Amino acid sequence: MRPWVLLRQAAIPFEEVQLWFDQNARAQGAERYSPTGLVPVLMVDDEPIWDSLAICEAVADLFPGKRLWPDDSGARRIARAACAEMHAGFRALRNAMPMNIRASLPGKGRAAGVQQDIERISALWASCRARYGAGGALLFGDFTIADAFYAPVVMRFRTYAVKLPSAAQAYVDAVCALSAVQDWMAAGRAETAFVAADEPYAQ
């Protein structure tokens, strides 16, 4: 979702190849593109970039005019740290609340450590909004890579109806209103494939 939302929201054209997961959530056919066999992978000049953060950095390099990181160097450092924290962390939340846009699972996924992740994310969002968000409704005002990075968490907070402080809820609403996120959500709702490993709460 993260590189897709980034490219789409920034109006950068790309060709999408959709791969499907088996019941163990193994990506079928990904090894044709990616040396790790994992997705996402972006091909640039027939060369794979096989990690979502690396893809976003590469896209920012390729399209400097799109201003995908904040202009201010202090804000940019924090945006990078926020993305790195998302990339490497929040394991409890990610394990207990798999992303599932077409489901509504209020109250599910309250495993140990999840509430701490929710509180840390809410505090991070509030801090970015208060320090850097004056120019818009997103973490650094206008849309940046940081918003693409937190979009899957926004989806989880919706699916699992996580109660949030008002600043975090306002940010959730702003991300959901992005046209690229709307498009991704519509495509997710239209999917009918069922992947058991990703739907632990299915009846």
Ligand X SMILES: N[C@@H](CCC(=O)N[C@@H](CS)C(=O)NCC(=O)O)C(=O)O
The reply to whether 91 sits near ligand X by the rule CB under 6 A is no
Distance CA 66, CA 63 (A): 6
The reply to whether 84 sits near ligand X by the rule CB under 6 A is no
Strands 47-49 and 42-44: antiparallel
CB of 141: closest distance to ligand X in angstroms?
A: 25
Name residues contacting ligand X, limited to 2-31 (CB under 6 A): 25-27
Distance CA 165, CA 201 (A): 26
The reply to whether 52 sits near ligand X by the rule CB under 6 A is yes
Distance CA 143, CA 136 (A): 8
CB of 72: closest distance to ligand X in angstroms?
A: 26
The alpha carbon of residue 37 and the mean position of all alpha carbons in its chain are separated, in whole angstroms, by 20
The reply to whether 100 sits near ligand X by the rule CB under 6 A is no
The reply to whether 195 sits near ligand X by the rule CB under 6 A is no
CB of 171: closest distance to ligand X in angstroms?
A: 22
Distance CA 197, CA 23 (A): 6
Stretch that binds ligand X, among 38-46, 109-117, 140-148, 179-187 (CB under 6 A): 38-46
